[in-house]
Structure 1
Amino acid sequence: MSAFGRPLMALVVFVLVLATLGAGSVVFDAAGDGSEPPREFATVDNETSALWPYTSRATAFDGRTLALNLIVYGDTEETALHLTEQSEGDWNETDEEEADVGGAEDDEAVFGTATAWGNAEGSTRYTYASPTPDPDDGIWLAESYELHDGTYLGTRHHIRAYESPADENWTAMQAHQEHWDWFHLRHTVDSIEESQQYVETEFMGRWFVDDVTRVHMDNDRSSDGDGWVTVVDLADRPTALTVPFVGLLGASVLRRFDRASVVRYWGTPRVRNAIALPVSLIAVYLFVRFGAIALEGALPSLDPRIVAAPFYPLIFGGLPVCTYVFARRLDRPTAFSAASIGFAVAILLDYTLLGVTQLPVNVLVHRFSAAVALGFVAVGASHAERFDSERHGYVRTGVILWVVILLLPLLQFV
């Protein structure tokens, strides 16, 4: 390839990546409602208060983010306390005009285990509430507290709680499932419905709960929300402070991997090198994810973002360096396939082990582009390429694409 052709090819690939990411964003945005954020208010607390059933990144309706999906009626301090304790109780029947969220077969069923919800930190989100039925009397509320179950650098259920602004005893909540994205260096929301169901089980069958129902608030313009909000009525009785605190015993899901036999070909250097490249990429990527999670658990008092800092260079520099080193004894097609497929498998395993099942189109396109960039690095490092003086330039092309692909999410383009 000529000296002019290589930069031209890099420019063409770069433009194609940007165009594809842009198209993915358009497709994803088109899937949303695309309309002005709704300003309709729901009435709460026997229609004595008004509540905007969404959260916002600013004190403005056009900053709408996620829909509120739980409201707990009862003492606000007791509500927070109950989320970190375990107890037993009787299941209460649901009124016919409201949607039942449980599947109890008798009136005395006891459901699940309570979660040891821990304090959480996240970006500030606001909601709007009025102590009267008139929304004009309302004020913007920042979250009263945040709780989470899971790990900051892995996947977790995250609750933002908003206590009533006046003397009413209710707490509105926004619960969502999210995972830490090593390319965006922030959390990506996966679902609000999954977390809504998860938090519901914390109140089902409890002695301090009178009723658990769902009511329709028409706030379905958010993630996978369907407009139904869980309503929990706490029992009108004092809280027993002697209830024992029991931590969550998380059930680990055993995943079975089919290990295809490679014994027949293992003795050949070509196969060993072809296997070493994708295995190394998978090992580095999963080490970043679960090494950071382990360190976060070992240092709970340290800001998780500080814990993440020493691991990010392994993403930025470790993956392309690993690709270059292990591709040096491969031919061009094998090098490209091993690098791109290895990275794709690493991403797939990461999301599978985290339990992430939904991703925006632009995120999928971004990960595919990253796999292509590592493929270019592998081709440039391959044995045939290094000894062909007419075909240098793939490493440079791959590195440029890799840097651009990592910068795009950090600059909020993805």
Structure 2
Amino acid sequence: MQRKPAAVVLLLVVGGLVLSGALGGTADDPAAEGVSAESLIAVEGEHDLWPYTSRRRSVSGRTLAMNVVFRDDAGTVRAALTGDGGSAWEVTDDAEREADGDLVADAVGREWRDADGSTRYSYFEGADGGEWTTVAFEVHDGAYLGSRDHVRAYESPDAAYTAVQVHEEYYDWFRLRHTVSSIDDPAVRLEDDFIDAPVSAEVRREYRGIDGGRSDGWLSVIEIAVLLPLAGTLVRRRTREALAEAARRLRREAGRHARVAVLGGVLAGAFLAVRTTGVAIELAYPGVPPKAIAAPLYLVIAAGLPALVALGARRSDPAAAFLGVTAGLGAGFVLDFAALGVAVPPGLIVHRAAVLVALGLLAAGRAAGDRPVLVSGVVAWLVALFLPLADVI
């Protein structure tokens, strides 16, 4: 490869990374600082709700829209979700007490647990003015370093209702933070949790015209009539489709170029091992902060993947090296997303493609002994690492 083509490819990679930031950004923050009366919705009691969460005590930090409202106080909602056996259940006789005990035991086996997340605020307004509040509780179903349904609950000042923002997210090892993939699907799963479980609850949907924050305008409204702990586990409706065509291509290339095919498989395995190792450590040692687990594992991606390419691509055909690296690691990306069962934002698809091209250039340059191509791959790789960490993507 010559210098001019290498420079052109490098520019394309950098351009793709910048484009991925444009496609994968979060919802636009509103410019106004005050909460307008038009943006508030009436739910229950004496306080209206601003149906969003915010990074700060201002509408300028708006993030995701509220998608579920419980016409109950936060303590009741949390107990229903987690099966908290310490709650003050109303028991009238010994037989009923025994039955309730069995239900509590079943509910404790659920996956909803206390969650860690970034600080988010919401806003309530009553006759005496408005106030910004933090979460009343935060729970999740899943693994911090894998994928999860994440609930943030906000109780109205008069405890007449609890507004919930539930979203599906997965831990992105390039961004070292979570990426939200959906707010609609987890809201449906939360609805089903109350529809299917042994709890007397009214579940319905109301169109409120909520604009922005990934909302489709609809709000799920749940009213728990008789509080009993929920039993069973959340049935996830996540697809785990495998990419058979990618696997077939890898097998064909393995027959022709065994060395680079093995390299591609090693890269895919290393990337998938980061996810599985992180989740395994998180589950085995729940007291360890997830970010403390993620930090050393990130080095496997940042330094380990290019090191494997540099070692494995020597004395290989440059074109085969490029194909083996991009196909192998690309299959790893696909399998990772498939195992998580999440929808992938377009911006991250562009970013992952640019990452593959960057390592492919590094492999081709190493195989051909072409310094300009090798340097182009290294620069593209560093840019691919920097932009997600800078929250551009």
Q: TM-score range by the shorter chain?
A: 0.7 to 0.9
Deviation at 1:26, TM superposition (A): 4.1
The answer for the alignment partner of 1:22 in structure 2 is 18
Determine whether 1:368 maps to 2:364.
no
TM-score normalised to the size of structure 1? Answer: 0.79
The answer for the alignment partner of 2:103 in structure 1 is none
Deviation at 1:15, TM superposition (A): 3.9
Question: Aligned partners of 2:277, 2:144: CA distance in 1, in Å?
Answer: 13
Rate the CA distance shift 1:118–1:130 in 2: closer, same or farther, 3 A.
same
Deviation at 1:291, TM superposition (A): 1.3
What amino acid does structure 1 have at the position aligned with 2:361? F
Question: Aligned partners of 1:262, 1:155: CA distance in 2, in Å?
Answer: 27
The answer for the alignment partner of 1:228 in structure 2 is 218
Question: Aligned partners of 1:257, 1:363: CA distance in 2, in Å?
Answer: 18
Which of 188, 206, 230 aligns to 1:215? It is 206
Determine whether 1:299 maps to 2:267.
no
CA contact (8 A) 2:54 2:64 kept: yes
Question: Aligned partners of 2:240, 2:347: CA distance in 1, in Å?
Answer: 30
Instruction: Describe the superposition over 1:131-168 as per-residue Cα deviations: whole angstroms up to 9, x where unpaired.
Output: 44xxx711001111110000001100000000111x33
SS in 2 for 1:226: coil
CA contact (8 A) 1:159 1:174 kept: yes
What amino acid does structure 1 have at the position aligned with 2:116? E
Deviation at 1:23, TM superposition (A): 3.7
Q: Which structure has more RCO (C-alpha within 8 Å, separation ≥ 6)?
A: 2
The answer for the alignment partner of 1:379 in structure 2 is 364
Rate the CA distance shift 1:69–1:298 in 2: closer, same or farther, 3 A.
same
Determine whether 1:157 maps to 2:149.
yes
SS in 2 for 1:351: helix
Rate the CA distance shift 1:342–1:228 in 2: closer, same or farther, 3 A.
same
**Further displaced range: 61-70 or 75-84:** 75-84
Which of 308, 316, 323 aligns to 2:309? It is 323
- Structure 2 gap ranges (5+): 86-105
SS in 2 for 1:52: strand
Question: Aligned partners of 1:177, 1:302: CA distance in 2, in Å?
Answer: 23
**Further displaced range: 283-292 or 321-330:** 321-330
CA contact (8 A) 2:54 2:121 kept: yes
Matches within 5 A, 1:270-285: 271-285=257-271
What amino acid does structure 2 have at the position aligned with 1:231? V
CA contact (8 A) 2:168 2:186 kept: yes
Deviation at 1:12, TM superposition (A): 4.8
Give the helix-richer structure, 1 or 2. Answer: 2
Larger Rg: 1
Which of 168, 181, 189 aligns to 1:177? It is 168
Percent of aligned pairs sharing the same letter: 35
SS in 2 for 1:408: helix
The answer for the alignment partner of 1:312 in structure 2 is 298
Instruction: Describe the superposition over 1:251-277 as per-residue Cα deviations: whole angstroms up to 9, x where unpaired.
Output: 9977667564999997x6x53113212
Rate the CA distance shift 1:364–1:254 in 2: closer, same or farther, 3 A.
closer
Determine whether 1:395 maps to 2:339.
no
SS in 2 for 1:289: helix
Question: Aligned partners of 1:66, 1:253: CA distance in 2, in Å?
Answer: 24
TM-score normalised to the size of structure 2? Answer: 0.83
Which of 68, 84, 106 aligns to 1:70? It is 68
**Further displaced range: 243-252 or 302-311:** 243-252
CA contact (8 A) 1:85 1:116 kept: no
Deviation at 1:411, TM superposition (A): 1.4
Instruction: Describe the superposition over 1:75-95 as per-residue Cα deviations: whole angstroms up to 9, x where unpaired.
Output: 4312110101299xxxxxxxx
What amino acid does structure 1 have at the position aligned with 2:382? V
Matches within 5 A, 1:72-111: 72-85=70-83
Rate the CA distance shift 1:27–1:276 in 2: closer, same or farther, 3 A.
closer
SS in 2 for 1:138: strand
Deviation at 1:201, TM superposition (A): 1.5
Question: Aligned partners of 2:317, 2:234: CA distance in 1, in Å?
Answer: 51
Determine whether 1:404 maps to 2:383.
yes
CA contact (8 A) 1:86 1:246 kept: no
Number of residue pairs aligned between Structure 1 and Structure 2: 365
SS in 1 for 2:262: helix
CA contact (8 A) 2:29 2:62 kept: no
The answer for the alignment partner of 1:137 in structure 2 is 129
Instruction: Describe the superposition over 1:228-265 as per-residue Cα deviations: whole angstroms up to 9, x where unpaired.
Output: 11111121x5x45xx58766688997766756499999
Question: Aligned partners of 2:360, 2:250: CA distance in 1, in Å?
Answer: 23
SS in 2 for 1:302: coil
Rate the CA distance shift 1:42–1:71 in 2: closer, same or farther, 3 A.
same
Question: Aligned partners of 1:248, 1:199: CA distance in 2, in Å?
Answer: 8
Determine whether 1:355 maps to 2:341.
yes
What amino acid does structure 1 have at the position aligned with 2:153? A
Determine whether 1:202 maps to 2:188.
no
Question: Aligned partners of 1:244, 1:23: CA distance in 2, in Å?
Answer: 45
The answer for the alignment partner of 1:123 in structure 2 is 118
Instruction: Describe the superposition over 1:94-113 as per-residue Cα deviations: whole angstroms up to 9, x where unpaired.
Output: xxxxxxxxxxxxxxxxxxx9
Deviation at 1:18, TM superposition (A): 3.5
Question: Aligned partners of 1:11, 1:274: CA distance in 2, in Å?
Answer: 24
What amino acid does structure 1 have at the position aligned with 2:182? S
Rate the CA distance shift 1:244–1:57 in 2: closer, same or farther, 3 A.
closer
